[in-house]
Every structure is written in structure tokens, then in C-alpha cells.
A = this chain, B = another copy of it.
């Protein structure tokens, strides 16, 4: 370390107060390690309370030549919020900006501090008959959700974070610690370059997100689910089309679960039984309808689902082999149990990828075939968001196969999957987790060089000295 850490920390305490700085190893440990990947050593944790204090932290850090990392709830999966091993990175935590929630009922928007947690926001909105419906397996902060542009399992109805972002406050880590106010809360505004878009999905590497205005939605008053078995996996897309045309605006989720993924659940979670009896279908679709319309409006989602299923069963095209209606909780329990069950079955090599919906079966088929040939032990236990093209192509190297895969083999498998995905299918190697140190080599490998040049120039423009963030978007 080239600086006097204790003196620097004392200076920050003098600036912002005791509660604004954490410096002891015990205090730091919860911030230094990511949920799945990423671990290092931080110089300290700074905990500003607003944009002005963020500016003070930036000026202090620049003076001491410390680099900065924004951290929300530390739930990210690409290590974008984790420090490296140098010990001269400062984690800027937004946990003291968790309580600012200001609802504008008539604008149907909410102004939130960057540190507000998704669950807290939804708890706050619920009595007003509203929600922020980005549906995730974690409880991230709003700032983190913006930096990762999270999507989730209900994207086909509600979109991603970008779609619901109507205002943003940002502080740049440049010399003047530039404060940018995009907090308009407007739905229709084309009065210039929409600069706030630059901070969405860029892993906190372009500027500190301190506040946001989000569009919120009427809370669903009804929900209906069914499990569908397409006659062949390929026909799943015909089912999707039928549901889109018949249930239109109310179609909320269309999730796919492969036979191999479900078998792991039934084996390692015996309390979850196979709803289809003895045999496990090749592919099961979880379809969900939701609506803000109360039943008093004459809309009954259960009977709507029943009507579609009856029509499909009676039609000649035989898209549907089997269907179970009205088991919302049980269905989602099965879907949500997959990730953990796979980890009990073996070493999981996880992928968060997407392809065009029309290519999803061709990609799956090719992967299953090619991976089996190359690594016979490997099981493709995929599941995902068929409705939006998102696919968790999780591969399991079974514990009970007698051989442990080493890091080189895992690297080889990853490289093979990404290569086919991007080169042959123009897919995305990071559908909803963003880019961080964990996958930035993949970014560099598969992003067109002229695009990397532009992205790098943007980063230099907004974060000129590289004082902020863990990702380099330039070549």
C-alpha cells in the first residue's frame, strides 16, 4: 500500500462522521466477498447518506489515489461490487440510503434512494395497491438493479429496469465530482440525449447512482398458473404463441423446465413431488397469468386458462400433451427449487444466457448433443425464461460419477458453450447478471472491437481516471 490507510480513514471520519466509515477487518468482511464470485480486500467502507456526501467521498478518494466501488445489497453474481486484492479500493455502500421512498400517487412513480431494497419498496407500495414488479430470486438494492438492468421471471409483462426508469441522479467520479440530475419523472421526454441510459446496465462503472424515479404498477389482484407439457419440446413455441394471442396483456411468465432439471429436484427435494406422476416429461412449461383487474371486473383468470387449455386440447395441431391447472404455489416451488437441487447433484457450471426465442430449441438440442459427446459425464439441467429468451443452461458434473472436473476442464466447457452461443446463435453471454470481473474476459472476447472502442471512450468520458468500478469496457 502506497498510502497511510489509518490517516486516510481518520480524514474520512472527520468529514462524514463515525457512522460513515467502517475500517476494522471484522466490519469489512461482509462487504469484501460477493454472493457467488469475487473476494478481495477493501481499504475501508464508506457509507454516504446522499449525493453530496458521495461527492465528498469521491474528492477524498481521489486525493488519496484510492479507487472506488459502488455496492448496494451485494447480491450481484458477476463480482462487479467486490474489491480486488490490492487493498486500495474503497467500497461505497448505499446502505444508509435505504429509507428514502417518496410516492407520487398520481404520477404512479416513486422516488427512491439508491440503497432502498426491492422488498422494502414493495412492502411500502403494497398498501397503496402498487408494486415494483421486477421479480428476482434475491433482494437487491434499487441502485444495484439499475447498474445490472435486472430482468427476472416476469419480464415479458413488465420489462426490465430500463423500461421502468423515469429518473436518475448520478455523481461522476471525475475531478469535480460532477452531479447529474435526470430526476424528471417524465414518461414522454425527447428534449435531448437521454443520458441516464448510459448508467443502466453498466455495472456501476460509469458513475454513482444515488437516487432514481421508478414507474410502479398496479398490484395484481388475480393470478392463475398451469403446468403444460408440450407434445415435443419444439412445440413449446407454438404454445407460447397461442398464449400470447389468447391471453395477451395478462401473460406474465412462460418458464421452461427440462426433464434433467426436474429430476434433480425430485431426487434431492423429496417433499416436492412430481405432479405428473411416475414419469417426468421432457419439458414442462410454467405459464402464469396475472392481472390488476379484480374479479369484480368480470375477468376470471382461472377460467381463462381453462378455456385456453380446452381449446388447445381440442385443436388438431397437438401442441399440448398434458396440462395441470391451478397449482400456482406448487408450480413456482418446483421452478424455484431447481438451482439449489442442482448443487446437491454435483458441481454446477452455471450460465445466464439468452437467445432469440425462435432459436432456443435449436440451441438446446445442439448443446445437449455436443456436450454429451465431449464430456460424457456432464448433464444439461437447463431451465429458464422461455417467454423472454433467457436460459439458465446449467450443467451438472455429478458428484457420484467418480471424477472431479478440474478448473481447466470447466474453463474449456465454458469456452465451448460461449463460442457456440455467440458465434452460431448471436446470443448473449450475460442475459440478466451484467458484466463484472467474473465475465469481463468473455466480454472482451465476444464484443465487436468497434463497439469496445466506443464503450471504452464512453467510460473515459464519464470516469476519466478510472477511479470508479471494477469493469473495463474498452479493448
Contacts and interface: CB of A to CB of B under 8 A. Distances in A.
A331 to B, nearest CB: 21
B292 A297 contact: no
B300 A304 contact: no
A431 B190 contact: yes
A430 interface: yes
Contacts of A179: 450
Interface residues on A, range: 35 or more
A365 to B, nearest CB: 15
A151 B184 CA distance: 17
A273 interface: no
A297 B245 CA distance: 11
A340 interface: no
Say how many copies of this protein the assembly contains: 2
Interface in A138-197: 148-149, 151, 155-157, 159-160, 162-163, 178-195, 197
A107 B357 contact: yes
Interface stretch (A41-49, A91-99, A260-268, A382-390): A382-390
Given A355-B186, A388-B187, A192 B435 contact: yes
Contacts of A193: 198, 201-202, 451, 454-455, 458, 473
A83 interface: no
Contact of A188 (B188, B249, B390, B443): B390
A291 B293 CA distance: 13
A194 B197 contact: yes
A38 interface: no
Contacts of A435: 190-192
Given A180-B450, A187-B155, A240-B106, A192 B473 contact: yes
A17 interface: no
A358 B213 CA distance: 14
A246 B163 contact: no
Interface stretch (A8-16, A396-404, A421-429): A421-429
A447 interface: yes
A244 interface: yes
A357 B191 contact: no
Contacts of A22: none
A372 B464 CA distance: 50
Contacts of A451: 180, 182, 192-193, 195
Given A106-B241, A188-B432, A357-B106, A249 B293 contact: yes
Which 10 pairs of residues, A with B, have the shortest CB-CB distance? A248-B292, A249-B249, A106-B358, A189-B428, A197-B197, A188-B431, A193-B455, A191-B430, A187-B388, A107-B358
30 contacts: A105-B358, A106-B241, A107-B358, A108-B357, A149-B190, A149-B194, A179-B450, A180-B454, A181-B448, A184-B356, A186-B355, A187-B357, A190-B432, A191-B435, A192-B447, A193-B451, A195-B451, A195-B454, A195-B455, A197-B198, A218-B245, A245-B292, A246-B294, A249-B291, A249-B293, A297-B304, A298-B298, A298-B299, A298-B307, A299-B304
